[in-house]
Amino acid sequence: MNKPYIIGVAGGSGSGKTFFLKCFLEHFKPEEVCLVSQDDYYIPVAHEMTPEENKLYNFDLPHTIDNEHFFDDIEKLVRYETVYKQEYTFNNPNAVPKTLEVKPAPILIVEGLFILHFKEIAHLLDLKIFIDTEEDIALQRRLKRDLLERGYSHDDVMYKWVNHVVPAYKEFLLPYKDECDKVITNNTHVAEDIISITEEISKDLRERVLPA
């Protein structure tokens, strides 16, 4: 079998990666594309910390990711092997993690904040996509997600944004923006804009990668 065509999708917190990927995946059948996310490879630390320590812990640093496991699973998918992985629950003690099954496919999407910083992963990518968003818009999206979905307070979100999120974005992602094949600006709240972009990319991929 030919090596899968590997797409890297990188973007900071609140850039809209999740919505971009949702739109992108809708252009393909399940057996044509698979997705592996850096977010499922955080090293679990919740059991070691008090709630206050958890609040101050910086998840926006490369060493918080089990990069070796992440890379190993990407290589399994490249070899067309199925990957089984425990879902990461963002240190929520009330959440029951699911076992994720990722089946290999001709198109493999790797997404996350550090995928361009991790050189062994970056070298595998055939297409690098950077999701770019203005900082104030990204913050509003982050606030909405963390307040509603993860139960953080406004002060907690702002502390992490100023001290963790923005510095990590500037150090570990932004320097690689100019290396990317496509830079997609996602400042809009209009779904049709992203749908149109993903349609254009998927049409090109279908012609080049997938057999007729």
149-172: pLDDT as tens digits: 666 789 988 999 999 999 999 999
Integer CA distances (angstroms), 207 to 40, 44, 50, 139, 201, in order: 31, 41, 52, 37, 10
Contact between residue 13 and residue 162 where contact means Cβ atoms under 8 Å apart: no
- Token pair, residue 61, equals 């640093």
Mean pLDDT over the full length of the chain = 89
Contact between residue 165 and residue 60 where contact means Cβ atoms under 8 Å apart: yes
162-200: pLDDT as tens digits: 999 999 999 999 999 999 999 999 987 667 778 888 899
Mean pLDDT of 78-94: 82
The rounded percent of the chain whose pLDDT value lies above 90 is: 61
Please give the torsion angle defined by the CA atoms of residues 67, 69, 71 and 76, in that order, rounded to the nearest 10 degrees. -170
Strand 83-86 to strand 99-102: parallel, antiparallel, or no bridges (unpaired)? Answer: antiparallel
Using the CB atoms, write b or e for 80-119: b if 16+ within 10 Å.
eeebebeebbebeeeeeeeeeebebbbbbbbbbbbbbbbe
Contact between residue 148 and residue 141 where contact means Cβ atoms under 8 Å apart: no
Residue 133: how many CA atoms within 13 Å on its side-chain side? 25
pLDDT band for position 140 (cuts 50, 70, 90): very high
Distance, CA of 211 to CA of 31 (rounded, Å): 13
How confident is the model at residue 1, as a pLDDT?
A: 66
Contact between residue 9 and residue 17 where contact means Cβ atoms under 8 Å apart: yes
pLDDT band for position 63 (cuts 50, 70, 90): very high
Q: Which domains does the chain have, with CATH numbers?
A: 5-208 (3.40.50.300)
Decide: helix, strand or coil at residue 36.
strand
